[in-house]
Amino acid sequence: MSTIYFGTNRDPNRLPSPDDFGDAFSRDGLANLRFGQAEVDPDNGGVSTLELYPEQPDGTLLGSTKLFETLQQRMLDNHGDLLIFIHGFNTTFKEALQTAAILQQKYRIDGEEPLNVVTFSWPSDGKPSSYRNDRHDAKSSGLAFARGIQKVLEFLTHLDANRNCKRDMHLIAHSMGNYLLRHAVQEMLEQNPGPLPRLFEQIILAAADEDDDALEKDHKLKRLPELSRRVSVYFNRGDRALNISDWTKGNPDRLGSDGPRRPTEVPMKVSLVDCGDVVGGAVEHNYFYAHQKVVSDIIETLKGTPDDDRPGLRRDFDSRRNRWRLK
């Protein structure tokens, strides 16, 4: 079993002890956040226990404080980094927990203790037919995720120097989670128009259901690299889920299909990784956890291994298109 932490703006099925969260926003508001942890079997998605951290309406007890203090102690004890995961379209709350557990199981760095994984679960309907509704809910959830990031910043600002775990935080957004991330960045900029804080070591955009010009536009993800030491964009031109998004939903070309439309103009700290030569079949959209070659490359990314120094991984650099190609 894997211990997975969560923050969510979904509505719980009951209070004070839910065993699931639904496909609607919290009845306390779409930006309302609840925090907790679950014991999850990554193989079958079973959730043996789900604990919602208690809160007091007057703010004297916050679920976010319990989450951050718990993670801080775990990182002090086992030296594992923290990974925040934003899931994509067509995902239930428990499916988000299972994917997070798979990431914890597979993203092992040099035999270290497992990563500490937190999933931010927004109210995706968990139905393939609900694309447009999910897209609206992802956009609306940007405020909730921005609030969560602000809570992290406030916690770190008041952190006792003697309790600094000296570990890194990373972020991975999959599919429509990248569209949510765009709107979270915009909410952060609206609240503070200055430079964004460099909070993460690595940000990974995987199979991004986002416009291919997103890294060019101020109102999309152009400012995202300020949040991280490095941003890596993993994409696959054979991703049928994203191609269908182009053809049937009236979207522009997708960032997760063929990368940025102007690859030579992305910032130096943005790395482009083309998975099209190795990914296919049933894992064409979920390759970030379901294809071993891609998983191995992402592990090196989380370790901070330079793009041109990854022994054991077959990569070619296409200078004309400013991208690394997995072979």
In the numeric block, the tokens 């891609």 are attached to: 294
Beta strand residue intervals within 158-227, DSSP E: 169-174, 200-206
Q: Where are the domains of the chain?
A: 2-326
Amino acid 1: pLDDT: 86
Rounded to whole angstroms, how far apart are CA atoms 299 and 107? 6
Return d(Cα 193, Cα 187) in angstroms, integer. 10
Rounded Cα distance, 187 and 9, in Å: 16
Where b means 16+ CB within 10 Å and e means fewer, 249-271 reads eebebbbbbbbbeebeebeeebb
What pLDDT, on a 0 to 100 scale, did the predictor assign at position 284? 87
Angle at 187 between CA 191 and CA 30, to 5 degrees: 115
Res 146 pLDDT > 70: yes
The topology (CATH level 3) of 2-326 is Rossmann fold (3.40.50)
* 272-319 pLDDT, tens digit each: 999 999 997 667 899 999 999 999 999 999 999 999 988 778 899 999
pLDDT of residue 227: 97
C-alpha dihedral over 129, 181, 218, 318, to 10 degrees? -90
pLDDT, position 204: 98
Q: For 54-68, 100-114, 183-197, 242-256, which range has the lowest pLDDT when averaged over its residues?
A: 242-256
DSSP reduced 3-state for 16: coil
| pLDDT for position 282 | 64
Between CA 69 and CA 61 the distance in angstroms is 13
**pTM for the full predicted model:** 0.94
Query: Which of 59-63, 67-71, 229-233 is the most confident on average?
Result: 229-233
Rounded to 5 degrees, φ, ψ at 162 are -75, -10
Q: What is 190-208 written as a DSSP string?
A: HH--SPPP--EEEEEEES-
Average pLDDT, the chain: 91
Question: Looking at the predicted structure, is the pLDDT value of residue 171 above 80?
Answer: yes
Which tokens is 305 given?
A: 């291994």
> For 109-128, how does the pLDDT look when each residue is reduced to its tens digit (9 = 90+)?
877 778 999 999 999 998 88
Contact 234, 293 (CB under 8 A): no
- CA-based nearest residue to 275, from 232, 236, 324: 236
| CA–CA separation, 241 and 244 (whole Å) | 5
pLDDT recorded at residue 263:
96
Residue 155 has pLDDT above 90, yes or no: no
248 — pLDDT class (breaks 50, 70, 90): low
Q: What is the pLDDT of residue 283?
A: 75
Euclidean distance between CA atoms 141 and 7, whole angstroms: 12
Across the range 81-101, mean pLDDT stands at: 96
